[in-house]
Amino acid sequence: MTIDRAAVERWVAGYERLWRTAGTDELTTLFTEDASYLQSPWATPKVGLDAIARMWDHERDGPDEVFTMASEVLAVEGDTGVVRLEVTYGDPVTQRWRDLWLLHFADDGRCAAFEEWPFAAEKR
């Protein structure tokens, strides 16, 4: 599948919306059944929707979690998109992250492989 910048932007917007939504039932709109989700280059990937849902439930504070997210699609080629993000948590801010996401899409537009390269401001 060939994707375009607008499709990647829509996917990232859907990701943020679902992160802010209680539950994980709608993950099927973002990820394929057998998707892999790598939280850092050194992590063991979570594979399959059940594993991704458990990770989301563990990582999120819930739908009321205070955060801002800004993203920019850096590159799109074939079935792959690269996105740079800045995410801040809390008010006042308690955490700042800059991430790179490598997204590999299936033919139906859902993500089949998600790879995150997170960089914490505190770790510089």
Give the CATH number for residue 44: 3.10.450.50
Structural domain span for residue 15 = 5-123
Hey, which bits of 1-94 come out as E strands? 31-38, 46-47, 67-77, 80-89
Per-residue pLDDT of the chain (124 residues; tens, 9 = 90+): 679 999 999 999 999 999 989 999 999 999 999 999 999 999 999 999 999 999 999 988 877 888 899 999 999 999 999 999 999 988 898 889 999 999 999 999 999 999 999 998 776 5
pTM over 0.85: yes
Dist CA 120 CA 86 (whole Å) = 10
Number of domains comprising the chain: 1
Give SS3 for 111. strand
Q: What is the pLDDT of residues 33-50, one digit of tens each?
A: 999 999 999 999 999 999
